[in-house]
Structure 1
Amino acid sequence: MSSDEREVGIAHLTLLHLPPPELVTVAAAAGFDAVGIRVVTAGPGEEPWPMAPGSPMLAETLSRLEDSGMRVLDIEVLVLGPDSGREHYEPALEAGAALGARFLNVMGDDPEPERIAATFARLTEDARPYGLRPLIEPIPFKAVRDLQQAVDIAERSGGGGVEIDALHFARFGGDLEALRSVAPELLPLLQVCDAPLERPDDLERPGRLPRGQSTEGDDRMLEARAMRLLPGDGELALAELVAAMPAGVPLSVEAPVAALWEELTPAEFALAARRAVEPLAAAGIDPIATEDQREIR
């Protein structure tokens, strides 16, 4: 990747049925620069990939990262609830450090604003020795559900940031002008996908999702887990969203599309995702700003 190119990764949720080593290989062949890896499950019932330090799968993942020159952009997904403490998140920090990840994706699921802010601040401090920067992701069906809540928490954390997801931004009614007003150093990563403008209603429930993720609950959650679209296949204002973010911010394709999982091999899907994101990746690149963005951790 040259100095005038934007870093582009693929989030594990896009191909969660692939073990991390295979994800690295498939993503590298498709032309991605980096991957996100799920080292912690997002909810009860989900089957974790065995990525603890010292595990054979972690060792194989590291080997494939070295062989391919790929990087780990972020690890996911840490859910912070009312009782979350160091014993809850330390395994994720250890796995992230072993992988050389930059960011830790965080969901806020504690409805008490002061407590979740304090928990995220402690996490930010505890993550620093591991070389990880926690990013809280506003999600409309979680307790931290909009941009302002996430920014307030990040600003008080002493070094954490906010991870914007294109789908969630649309579903919580995100405002581009408000996004432009956020300090650039708080926005080091953007997840992209596409979707219809209209909020989903009464979605057909699939029999099973990768790794046993739940198909129950809010339609927005099911859409986020399995019914997104590749960039360009929907109606979201993705170019405008990218333009509202800091110049040169890395992009991560988080676009699980259940219909395409059935039609395409993982290699074909990854290649389609890389091609779909290219217009966004190439838009508005400033070489100096891009270099500055890579220094933000």
Structure 2
Amino acid sequence: MNRTIGLAHLSALHLSPPELVQAAANAGFTSVGIRVYPATKGESTYRMAVGSTMFVHTLDRLGGTGVAVRDVEVFTLNGNRGRAEWEPVLEAGAALGASVLNVIGSDPDGGRLRDSLAALVEDARAFGIRPSVEPISYQPLATVPAAGLLVQQTGCGIMLDVLHFVRAGGRIAELEHLPAGAVTVIQLCDGPADTPDLPVPRAMPLGQDVNGSPRQIESRSKRLAPGEGVFPLGEILDLFPDTPISVEVPDVLAVEAHGTFAHLQHLYEAAATLTRTSLKTETK
């Protein structure tokens, strides 16, 4: 197995997009996912509208490092958002060179979610972007089978977050029955068999809200690097040998204790070891 390794923004969300690109390049990653739209209520926002100062600086870093943008995040379909909200996100994603938009299904009305997603998929085609739903264990769209049905109904893709796949009780057989090409990105991390009882960090990057929920605290503040837990990572990677990897391992306390570079270098080396990719011969 020999594939490139990308970095999800959540692994270092305290870094602005241009800082993230540079840090990813320094640690060995060849692509990044960039947050251009807030994920949680009250979250601070990186000003990434096309043409903004931060956007221009991000393009400069991308050009200088050779790092690519795989996906942009995160657009939540909650029943109230439509074209007026998603069009600027698609514009930013296209200008960054992204091919995937991360979509969260928080609308409890399944029919409305399907219809909104279908409209988003149709609009995104003009931008060369495939909206890809991420099943999240504490959201209305929680499971891989539910996401697979949306793939069939709308033509969307799936961003497979391994943590949420496991926490939702996912089984490998569910992945085997997905339509061909459904999984656009694997968000790679590891963890213990059960959701741990973790303290809420003193400060969350961008002021993210965890609501005191153990699953949200784990998801946003403390995951394990690939190979350090019990998740069936090898089986998942073997099922999707050509699917890009995005390492998504936030660890707020580790960053505070050891610094961002040490954290990201550890993540890259762990992912490279897992995928049996040579650190010297990996190519973009």
1:178 aligns with 2:180: no
Specify the alignment match of 2:262 in structure 1.
268
Specify the alignment match of 1:139 in structure 2.
136
SS class of match (2:181): helix
Specify the alignment match of 1:215 in structure 2.
210
1:281 aligns with 2:270: no
Specify the alignment match of 2:5 in structure 1.
8
SS class of match (2:74): strand
The Cα of 1:281 is off from its aligned counterpart by 2.7
Count matched residues. Answer: 278
Equivalent residues in 2 for 1:214-253, closer than 5 Å: 214-244=209-239, 246-253=240-247
1:204 aligns with 2:191: no
Equivalent residues in 2 for 1:83-94, closer than 5 Å: 83-94=80-91
Contact 2:201 2:221 in 1 (8 A): no
Contact 1:106 1:134 in 2 (8 A): yes
Specify the alignment match of 1:188 in structure 2.
184
Contact 2:103 2:132 in 1 (8 A): yes
The Cα of 1:84 is off from its aligned counterpart by 1.8
Tell me the distance in 2 between the aligned counterparts of 1:83 and 1:22.
32
The Cα of 1:228 is off from its aligned counterpart by 0.7
The Cα of 1:279 is off from its aligned counterpart by 2.6
Structure 1 residue ranges, 4+ long, deviating more than 3 angstroms after superposition: none
TM-score, normalised via structure 2 length? 0.94
Specify the alignment match of 1:288 in structure 2.
none
The Cα of 1:5 is off from its aligned counterpart by 3.3
User: What RMSD, in angstroms, separates the aligned Cα atoms of the two structures?
Assistant: 1.5
Q: In the alignment, residue 232 of structure 1 is paired with which amino acid? A: G
Contact 1:242 1:280 in 2 (8 A): no
Contact 1:230 1:257 in 2 (8 A): no
Equivalent residues in 2 for 1:20-169, closer than 5 Å: 20-157=17-154, 159-169=155-165
Contact 2:152 2:179 in 1 (8 A): no
TM-score, normalised via structure 1 length? 0.90
Contact 1:76 1:105 in 2 (8 A): yes
Tell me the distance in 2 between the aligned counterparts of 1:184 and 1:247.
12
- Which deviates more from structure 2 when the two are superposed, residues 176-185 or residues 60-69? 176-185
SS class of match (1:125): helix
After superposition, what is the alpha-carbon deviation per residue over 1:239-271, rounded to whole angstroms, capped at 9, x for unaligned? 122123x22211100000122111222222111
Q: In the alignment, residue 160 of structure 2 is paired with which amino acid? A: I
SS class of match (2:224): coil
Q: Which stretches in structure 2 are left out of the alignment for 5+ residues?
A: 278-283
Tell me the distance in 2 between the aligned counterparts of 1:121 and 1:269.
38
Specify the alignment match of 1:289 in structure 2.
none
Tell me the distance in 2 between the aligned counterparts of 1:43 and 1:275.
30
Q: In the alignment, residue 124 of structure 1 is paired with which amino acid? A: V
Determine what percentage of the aligned residue pairs are the same residue: 41
